[in-house]
Structure 1
């Protein structure tokens, strides 16, 4: 097994586990109502698509419907932010923004797959048209790099924030009920961070 296949296998295992957890959470959730269940189901759908994406057979999944679906999912999270206690609408939206960006990254990867497929079909175009397309491709590649870089930086920040924020809580656990709740929050942040990091790797990998 090559190094690339090892990385693909690790990503598939990560996202498969994330999908199982999200489906389990959608069944067990007792707070948030329908919105919370939809959140978890969207996470599960994204994780399943990501688990398949590294492999050649994952390319058989239609890219355009994926782009549309995950674009709608990216809008779902900020548009359905609601106030919770003292938390204002803006704070609620910011709290859900990392999930929206994760869905946006999935949308972008699906969109790039569609663009590459169309580019591959452009072989045999007359030279004059190829020259024009070359200029557009250069501008498009720069725009692609900007979008990919912006998404990558945000995902990296989210991953580091989620994975490191719970470390002090682990050091101060004493076995109380409150500590159990804190440990659950740490576990939730771990999965958020691990999923963001996996999405970052997928975003930067050639497809």
Structure 2
């Protein structure tokens, strides 16, 4: 994704920390939906850390795409469910932001993990993205920026769950950085 050591280490620290947080909450979770949410975020954190390093291209693409596609569907379904509940629109927006993060992971893995892109990820700058891939990436960046804002607003001033939304905003913002690196690399 980038050969700049400062960026590699900074993003490794951010997503490593988020991964530790997700693991902590995964172990503490008691409800099946919470377990699934934290497991998906842990997987995302681990793959985001791996993507920063050349050895990531050795990981199989299909299981990653399937994992994140499942995650996108999971969060989209939860968002739809919350949108139908009176007074839960803000929760639906936050869950939609998580769905956008999972979709961004599907895009990133698919773009980085194929053919010449995988070679360049391991050995140098990415080749030029196709117009379609670049358009999808740009749309995802817009969705991620909006999701980051939603999570920040929804988490600010909340006693219960506020830290979860702020961590989600950090994850979404970090995903923006990673996608922009891919789009401009």
Post-superposition offset of 1:102: 0.5
Q: Could you tell me which runs of 5 or more consecutive residues in structure 2 were left unpaired when the two chains were aligned.
A: 120-127
Query: Which one of the candidate residues 187, 190, 193 is aligned to 2:169?
Result: 193
Q: Could you tell me which runs of 5 or more consecutive residues in structure 1 were left unpaired when the two chains were aligned.
A: 121-137, 170-181
Secondary structure of 2:56 counterpart: helix
Query: Which one of the candidate residues 58, 73, 76 is aligned to 1:75?
Result: 73
Cα distance in 1 for partners of 2:153, 2:92 equals 22
Aligned residues: 173
Query: Which one of the candidate residues 16, 41, 53 is aligned to 2:51?
Result: 53
Check conservation: 2:18, 2:167, Cα contact below 8 A.
yes
Q: Deviations for 1:107-131, whole angstroms, at most 9, x for unmatched residues?
A: 10111023344897xxxxxxxxxxx
Post-superposition offset of 1:76: 1.4
| RMSD value, Cα | 3.0
Post-superposition offset of 1:158: 1.7
Q: TM-score, normalised by structure 1?
A: 0.71
Secondary structure of 1:205 counterpart: helix
Q: Deviations for 1:30-78, whole angstroms, at most 9, x for unmatched residues?
A: 4xx2111111111101111101111111222112221122112111112
Task: Give the structure 1 partner of residue 63 of structure 2.
Answer: 65
Q: Note closer, same or farther for the CA distance 1:117–1:64 as it changes in structure 2 (3 Å cut).
A: farther
Q: Note closer, same or farther for the CA distance 1:68–1:145 as it changes in structure 2 (3 Å cut).
A: same
> Relative contact order (alpha carbons < 8 A, sep ≥ 6): 1 or 2 greater?
2
Check conservation: 2:44, 2:105, Cα contact below 8 A.
yes
Q: TM-score, normalised by structure 2?
A: 0.79
Structure index of larger Rg: 1
Cα distance in 2 for partners of 1:49, 1:119 equals 15
